[in-house]
Amino acid sequence: MDRSDRYWDDVAGAMAKSYHLDPVMAEQKRRVHVDLLRSWCGASPAGRILKTDLFEEALGGDEVLTGWPEEDAPARLCGIDISRRICTGARDRLTASNRRIDVLVCDARHLPFRDESFDIVFSCSTLDHFIGEEGLCAGFREAVRVLREGGRLVLLLDNPRSLFYPAVRWLGKKGKIPFLLGETLTAAEAACMAGEFGLTVLDQRAVYHVPRLVATALFRALRALRLGFADRFLLRTFGVLERRSGKGGEYRTGWYTATLLAKEGTSPVRGEDR
């Protein structure tokens, strides 16, 4: 699979009819990401901030740009995606927000920004949708290149050590879910690659402790039986499960590996190295 514009345009068309996450699962994912950003970037991050795809903003209830922490220091937000259809959908949904959010069609592996253009880069399961490690590495390198010295990269990748990851990957190959899973990295591998790019690991944990297959089957049954009253209870249950983050065995239950990286000192990744 290549993260081509045509492929993701087709995925967006299919997902516009039926999103891959139940609204409750999507809301929990949104909460987890916003809480993570508050914890790692502060309650009032300023400067320029880049999100490396707009899949959630275009299609789901798990979008984070309008919920990005903002109190006293307004940030300038920018979101990109290789799919024109996704960018159009995201732009339409974001117009109701009072936040300043720039939307741009481009490839995460070839960003059209100058070196050190952003204070924060938020890569939310973008780089794990390429064939082979080459695409992941290229996207990682570009994220580092456009990050200013002293900036922070918040990197989320599908966690291959999750109990349900092998099954979901197999379902993707069989066409049972709307998109394929590409190459990803374990927490240790992500830290190693970050070191090769001159980054410092400040924190690392597993997040989104929702049992994907079990929860998806459960919600399908609840929707069929029209038992929506259980939503609030299940959302609270997911909140309790999320307390596993940072504890022993977290990488068996968390769907994403989240890594906070700092670009300190002189980085080996520059525009001429692209």
Task: Report domain extents, the chain.
Answer: 5-264
Q: What is the pTM for the complete model shown?
A: 0.91
Q: Are the C-beta atoms of residues 142 and 108 closer than 8 Å to each other?
A: yes
Rounded Cα–Cα distance for residues 155 and 159 (Å) = 12
Confidence of residue 74 (pLDDT cuts 50, 70, 90): low
**pLDDT winner (highest mean) among 12-26, 40-54, 198-212, 241-255:** 198-212
The arithmetic mean of pLDDT across residues 183-197, rounded, is 97
The arithmetic mean of pLDDT across residues 224-237, rounded, is 92
**pLDDT at residue 172, rounded to an integer:** 85
> Above pLDDT 90, what percent of the chain?
70
Select from 105, 155, 166 the least CA-distant residue to 125: 155
The better pLDDT of the pair 11, 273 is held by 11
How does pLDDT run across 141-158, given as a tens digit for each residue?
999 999 999 999 999 999
Q: Which helix (H) or strand (E) holds 142?
A: helix 132-145
How does pLDDT run across 81-93, given as a tens digit for each residue?
999 999 999 999 8
Instruction: Look up residue 130 and give its amino acid.
Output: F
Taking CA atoms, 141 is separated from 81, 120, 146, 222, in Å, by 17, 15, 9, 43
How does pLDDT run across 104-145, given as a tens digit for each residue?
999 999 999 999 999 999 999 999 999 889 999 999 999 999
The better pLDDT of the pair 66, 265 is held by 66
Which residue do the tokens 């580092």 mark?
144
SS3 for 63-103 is: CCHHHCCCCCCCEEEEEEECCHHHHHHHHHHHCCCCCCEEE
CATH number of 5-264: 3.40.50.150
30-39, 53-62, 68-77, 219-228 — which is least confidently predicted? 68-77
Confidence of residue 4 (pLDDT cuts 50, 70, 90): confident
